[in-house]
Structure formats: structure tokens, C-alpha cells
Structure 1
């Protein structure tokens, strides 16, 4: 009976939180398939630790596992070079578009994780610090650096916010 209850609790958690965790993983790794794989790997690790996890901190623990899996994946990733560049659509100068994916790709993995947790998951500085096992000052400095990088390189962001 105890195992059945544990599995029911985990299944309920998984069904309610998987999409949010996958979305966080996507912001960090920038690929939906990889985000799905990493979320699944994270859930396997969470399931193994489930009997030891405190129910009041399970969300933070799950996010920490997902973020760590994503950052580890990005560190292991090997770039594949192509013989030619793929065709890209041409943008008209009258309608600038913001490529959020390209903007996030400018950030190192840890800064991308901080941005994902702060602005996508809407966590406080304290919660992000706990999720990443860093100090609050590190979260603040990584957020400031990430936003400065985005402001510097994404001039289309300002243009998109201006009324037409």
C-alpha cells in the first residue's frame, strides 16, 4: 500500500508540473525535443529520490534537478558544423521582429537558467538562489549581466515596444 501511495503522489506531481518544467528546460536549452528528454531524465532522478523529498519543497527540488540537467547537457553538447548555411527568410526593414530565441542564445547557460527561473517561472531572487544553490548576490549579478547583454544586443526589443 505504501508503494502505491508513493507512486500515486509522484504521478499527480508529474502530471501537474511536467509542462512548466519542460517550458523552463526549453528556455535554457532552446530545443523542445531536448527539453522533453531532459525533463524526463529529471523526473527519473526525482522519482528515485521521492521518498526523501519534503513535500513543501518538491517544486524547488524538481526545478533544481531540471536546471542542473539542462546546464550539464549544454556543457556536454558538441557543436556540429555544416558545409553550408541553411536558407533564412528575409525580414523587411519596415517590420522588425524580435527573435527571442537568438537573444537567449547569446546568454551563457547559467544566466539563461536565471532568466528562465526569474521571468518565466516568476520566482523571487531567494527562490532562484535556492533552486540553483547559489547566493542571492549571484542571482542578482547574473540577472543584471543577462539583462545588460540582452539590452545591448537586442535593439529590436525597443522597436517592438514602440507604438505604431
Structure 2
């Protein structure tokens, strides 16, 4: 394939998938400004690798770059900036069909999850990847994906429905925590 054909196919891919990839980047980092920077890094790296990945699965390649670039940015910053403001043009939770205030609460809840749980929840439940694909993208085992997914969803339930434990009997560990004044499990 000639250079002009490579550039044309790259441009077509970017035009068709840019908004979707931007929403993924936002879900990972929690800021539209950081998401734009993250996407720019990913698309630049994709451009240099395009001749190798064009015939494969370029979207999976970009998601992998987004994940790694987000980790790199987090390490460089030393702290994570979390925002849950949504602009009308690119709401990542719009496909849920929820009212705006519930979508906002969902996005805020996802942003409050620990980093790996957030990544697993975004890949598994927002993007619909299976356990194997998620494990491969994050470079972790399938069991770890399942564990992070379970813990992340449980944490989201606690954040979004704070009274969801009220109907359950208090087991020994929960009763001990309640006596000690601890309202949530430590791990």
C-alpha cells in the first residue's frame, strides 16, 4: 500500500472513531482537557504504527495506547485530576438512556473508583469487552479482571444507592465494623 493510501485509510479511521475514542479517554482520566491530550498522544502513536495495524484491529491498538498513556500521565503528574462535568456534545454516559442527573451521578461514581477498578468497569461494562479482551488490554489475569469488576460494581452500588445494605442481615464482620464505627469495608 502506498503512503497516500495509508494516510487516506488512517484519516478515514480517525474521522469515524474519534468521538468514540475521546469518550473512552474521558472515562479513563475524568477530564475533557486531559482526554483530548490523551487522544492526541494515542492518535500520534497510531499514525506511526498505522502500516502495521491497519489490517488488524486498530481500535484495540488505540485503546491499549490510551490505557498506557493514561498510566504514564498519572505517574508524571503525581496526582489525578478528577472532574465529572459533562459537556452536551460528548456525554460518555448518554447511551445509558438515564436522565442527566443520574448519568452525572454515574460518571462521578466511576471517577471515584480506584484506577484499575475504573478501567475494568469502563472496558467491561461501558465498552462491552469480555473478560479475556479486558485482561489482554490491561495486561492482567482474567481472575483479576473479575475481581476488579466485582469490587468496582459493588463500590458503585454503595456510592449510588447508599442504603442498599439496609435489608441484609448483619454478619459477624459487618457487625464488628458497625460497632467500631466503620461504615464500609476497608478492602
Q: TM-score with structure 1 length normalisation? A: 0.76
Match of 2:146 among 140, 157, 160: 140
Task: Give me the whole-angstrom Cα distance separating, in 1, the residues matched to 2:23 and 2:34.
Answer: 11
Shift of 1:132: 1.6
Q: How far is the alpha carbon of 1:157 from its aligned partner?
A: 9.4
Alpha-carbon deviation of 1:22?
0.8
Aligned residue in 2 for 1:42: 42
Structure 1 equivalent of residue 121 of structure 2: 115
Q: Does 1:128 align with 2:143?
A: no
C-alpha RMSD over aligned residues: 2.6
**TM-aligned CA deviation for residue 147 of structure 1:** 1.1
Aligned counterpart, 2:70 = 70
Check conservation: 1:38, 1:69, Cα contact below 8 A: yes
Aligned to 2:10: 10
Once residues 56 and 15 of structure 1 are traced to their aligned partners in structure 2, the CA distance between those partners, rounded to angstroms, is 18
In 2, Cα distance between equivalents of 1:157 and 1:72:
37
Residues 5-62 of structure 1 show CA distances to partners (whole Å, capped at 9, x for unaligned) of: 1111111111111111110111111111110110011110111111222523222111
Write out per-residue CA displacement over residues 66-89 of structure 1, whole angstroms, 9 at most, x where no aligned residue. Answer: 121123222332459xxxxxxxxx
- Where in structure 2 are there 5+ consecutive unaligned residues? 81-100, 165-187
Tell me the distance in 1 between the aligned counterparts of 2:161 and 2:142.
Answer: 29
Give the equivalent residue in structure 1 for 2:106.
100
The number of residues matched between the two structures is: 144
Distance 1:53 1:38 in 2: 19
Residues of 1 paired with 2:118 and 2:6: CA distance? Answer: 33
Please name the residue that 2:24 is paired with: 24
Give the direction of change, closer, same or farther, for the CA distance of 1:157–1:60 in structure 2 (3 Å limit).
farther
Measured after TM superposition, the shift of residue 129 of structure 1 is: 1.6
Give the Cα separation in 1 of the matches to 2:152 and 2:106. 13
